[in-house]
């Protein structure tokens, strides 16, 4: 089958960021399918052009048998009007290229199926238009509940004209999609409340390519530090200010062997570095982001990992975040600060859970984990690994995606017969 995926923020494994569609596409290619991914050449996390040279508007690149169509979009440094223009530019270019690509490149055939993936709805709209043009099957993938996330983050009220327009677009896309993939386990509650039948939904969470974690080195450094690693975005939703407050409590209690390593980038990183200086923290280290291919090596240095959530309403629909499964794949015990509706840490019995935005309790949990026998921590890590092998390995998720695709095809055949 010839499958096209529209995801503004898709990446391959050579840069930092989520690789959900690259990982799934690589598995689909192994099974004989053709996959083309339409993505921006501008890196959302690094805020820089990564794939195109000056003068190029787009190009096609083969990455491990997957065709990436890199699209020039409007650049930005913050979540302001420039990012909105970036979304609009992606929608227009993706729509234009989706219409013309089979004529521009003779090696690319018309798609049988198109997946339009949020974060933002304009990417899904472009996919919907292109699917209609090619008379291809159309699946919507919901990775972020726009516009509800904007409301829950406090950026706009439910009465704002932009939110009202996005509500209209949201309902239109739900109606046009032949199937809707959700990433969070309870997102269906939100979507069904907007008039969508439950049978139209399929849950395919995020996952991890376990092949990259084979033979991950353990922390055998001679500095006798107990290293807590956070690897991921440094944004408002990641609540890393809580981690710095926790580090201060740990340091003040003279647990000098506990050391915090924060790997990644994001809009809050400069501020976090300043806060660490103001607190005079000697047990915190900030590092540059690493590519997806380097994640296993970076996690190998950890004795434990940490994952912090803000106390936000949007987590009532569940979580399915890549870094959580990376931690588990690396066989590292982890601490989850937050109470999402689903808790993989509790389900897998692979770490400790504490309330959100409570640095005192979080410090106690970190100290408890550091004092725990090494064998017990290793057992936690193995349970996490077993959990992702069963539920979040890419081949397992690819099976679910293929089943979803076949169901859409069968539904079309039934409708044609009628």
The CA distance from 126 to 269, in Å, is 33
Q: Over 60: is that where the pLDDT of 1 sits?
A: yes
Judge if 188 and 245 occupy the same domain.
no
**Which has more confidence, 76 or 127?**
127
The per-residue pLDDT for 418 is 56
Q: What pTM was estimated for this model as a whole? A: 0.90
pLDDT tens-place string over residues 232-255: 989 887 889 999 999 999 999 999
Per the CB < 8 A criterion, the answer to whether 340 and 318 are in contact is yes
Judge if 8 and 27 occupy the same domain.
yes
- Candidate from 134-138, 177-181, 282-286, 408-412 with smallest mean pLDDT: 408-412
* Mean pLDDT (whole number) for 340-363: 93
Judge if 31 and 170 occupy the same domain.
yes
Per the CB < 8 A criterion, the answer to whether 128 and 138 are in contact is yes
The per-residue pLDDT for 414 is 58
pLDDT tens-place string over residues 124-135: 999 999 999 999
The per-residue pLDDT for 288 is 93
Judge if 108 and 222 occupy the same domain.
no
Per the CB < 8 A criterion, the answer to whether 327 and 334 are in contact is yes
Percent pLDDT > 70 in the chain is 96
The per-residue pLDDT for 219 is 59
Residue 218 region by backbone torsions, left for phi larger than 0, else alpha for psi between -120 and 50, else beta: beta
Judge if 296 and 186 occupy the same domain.
no
* Mean pLDDT (whole number) for 85-109: 92
Secondary structure string (H, E, C) spanning 308-353:
ECCCCHHHHHCCCCHHHHHHHHCCCCEEEECCCCCCHHHHHCCEEE
Average pLDDT, the chain: 91
Judge if 138 and 277 occupy the same domain.
no
Per the CB < 8 A criterion, the answer to whether 311 and 357 are in contact is yes
Q: Over 80: is that where the pLDDT of 394 sits?
A: yes
Judge if 398 and 379 occupy the same domain.
no
Judge if 73 and 40 occupy the same domain.
yes
What is the tally of structural domains in the chain?
A: 2
Judge if 386 and 402 occupy the same domain.
no
**Secondary structure class of 181 (helix, strand, coil):** strand
- Kindly indicate the confidence band of residue 417, based on its pLDDT and cuts at 50, 70 and 90: low
The per-residue pLDDT for 340 is 84
Q: Which residues contact 321 (CB under 8 A, 6 or more apart)?
A: 206, 232, 307
Q: Over 70: is that where the pLDDT of 327 sits?
A: yes
* Mean pLDDT (whole number) for 155-174: 93
Judge if 180 and 128 occupy the same domain.
yes
- Residue environment code for 214-233, b if the CB has 16+ CB neighbours within 10 A, otherwise e: eebeebeeeeebbbbbbbbb
Q: Over 80: is that where the pLDDT of 313 sits?
A: no
Give the domain extent around 273: 210-391
* Mean pLDDT (whole number) for 62-73: 96
Judge if 187 and 261 occupy the same domain.
no
CATH of the domain at 375: 3.40.50.2000
Judge if 348 and 281 occupy the same domain.
yes
- Kindly indicate the confidence band of residue 162, based on its pLDDT and cuts at 50, 70 and 90: very high
């Amino acid at each position: 089958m010839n499958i096209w995926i529209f995801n503004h923020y898709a990446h391959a494994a050579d840069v930092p960021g989520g690789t959900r569609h690259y990982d799934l596409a690589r598995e689909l290619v192994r099974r004989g399918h053709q996959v083309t991914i339409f993505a921006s050449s501008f890196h959302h996390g690094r805020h820089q052009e990564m794939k195109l040279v000056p003068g190029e508007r787009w190009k096609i690149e083969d990455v491990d048998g997957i065709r990436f169509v890199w699209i020039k979009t409007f650049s930005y440094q913050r979540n302001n009007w420039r990012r909105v223009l970036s979304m609009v530019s992606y929608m227009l270019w993706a729509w234009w290229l989706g219409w013309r690509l089979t004529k521009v490149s003779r090696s690319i055939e018309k798609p049988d199926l198109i997946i339009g993936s949020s974060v933002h709805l304009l990417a899904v709209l472009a996919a919907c238009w292109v699917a209609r043009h090619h008379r291809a099957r159309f699946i919507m993938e919901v990775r972020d509940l726009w516009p509800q996330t904007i409301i829950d983050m406090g950026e706009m009220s439910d009465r704002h004209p932009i939110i009202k327009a996005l509500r209209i677009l949201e309902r239109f896309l739900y109606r046009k999609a032949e199937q809707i993939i959700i990433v969070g386990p309870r997102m269906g509650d939100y979507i069904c409340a907007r008039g969508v039948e439950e049978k139209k939904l399929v849950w395919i969470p995020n996952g991890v390519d376990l092949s990259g974690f084979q033979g991950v080195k353990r922390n055998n450094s001679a500095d006798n530090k107990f290293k807590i690693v956070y690897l991921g975005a440094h944004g408002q939703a990641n609540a890393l200010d809580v981690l710095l407050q926790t580090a201060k409590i740990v340091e003040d209690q003279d647990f000098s062997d506990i050391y915090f390593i924060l790997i990644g980038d994001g809009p809050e990183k400069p501020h976090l570095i300043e806060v660490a200086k103001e607190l005079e923290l000697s047990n915190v280290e900030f590092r540059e982001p690493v590519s997806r291919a380097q994640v296993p090596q970076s996690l190998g240095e950890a004795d434990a990992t940490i994952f912090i959530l803000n106390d936000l309403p949007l987590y009532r629909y569940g979580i399915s975040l890549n870094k959580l499964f990376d931690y588990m794949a690396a066989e590292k015990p982890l601490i989850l600060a937050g109470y999402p509706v689903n808790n993989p840490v509790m389900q897998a019995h692979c770490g400790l859970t504490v309330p959100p935005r409570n640095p005192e309790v979080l410090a106690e949990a970190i100290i408890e984990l550091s004092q725990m026998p090494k064998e017990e921590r290793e057992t936690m890590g193995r349970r996490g690994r077993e959990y992702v092998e069963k539920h979040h390995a890419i081949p397992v998720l690819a099976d679910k995606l293929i089943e979803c695709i076949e169901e859409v095809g069968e539904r079309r055949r039934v409708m044609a017969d009628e």
